[in-house]
Amino acid sequence: MTEVPLAGFEHALHVLPNGSYILFKADWCGDCRRGVPPVKEAVAAARATLLVVDVAQQPQEWKAAGHPLRGDPRFQLSGVPTLVLWRDGAVAAKLASTLEKAATAEAARSVAAEFIRQHSLA
């Protein structure tokens, strides 16, 4: 697992192995504080590579219309946490609102594990 700030994201993306997962999160986000640790565990249990990206230091920075990831057509992010499968230089699958709405850490773990299971077969 590698964690990078937004400023280091493009470089990390270019060296990311094919078939890796990218987890977009923010430390100030309640949904992320609840959901990120179990997602990390689910990816580790699958023995997959994970790149964790901190999207913003403050909520207003993330919510700004000009945030680079909000307008990036590769990711089309609208919320965090978001987990994506990066394959062949593109998003092959994305887990967003279901992960964001997971009410407990166990629910987040279950949702993430199922997402990984479904897409490891693809």
Mean pLDDT of 3-19: 95
- Which residue segments constitute the domains of the chain, with CATH numbers given? 2-96+116-120 (3.40.30.10)
Mean pLDDT of 91-104: 96
Whole-prediction pTM value?
Answer: 0.96
- For residue 71, the model assigns a pLDDT of 87
% of the chain surpassing 90 pLDDT: 93
- For residue 65, the model assigns a pLDDT of 86
Q: Note if 7 is an active site residue.
A: no
Packed helices 105-120 and 30-45: angle between N→C axes, nearest 10 degrees = 40
Strands of the chain (E only): list them: 2-5, 20-25, 50-54, 82-87, 90-95
Mean pLDDT of 39-51: 97
Q: Catalytic one among 26, 29, 84, 95?
A: 29
Q: Is the pLDDT of residue 3 over 80?
A: yes
Mean pLDDT of 98-116: 96
Other CB atoms within 10 A of residue 119 CB: 20
Q: Note if 32 is an active site residue.
A: yes
User: To the nearest 5 percent, what fractions of the chain are helix, strand and coil?
Assistant: 40, 20, 35
Question: Predicted confidence band at 121 (pLDDT cuts at 50, 70, 90)?
Answer: low
Q: Is the pLDDT of residue 36 over 90?
A: yes
Q: What is the mean pLDDT of the chain?
A: 95
Q: Catalytic one among 6, 32, 56, 96?
A: 32
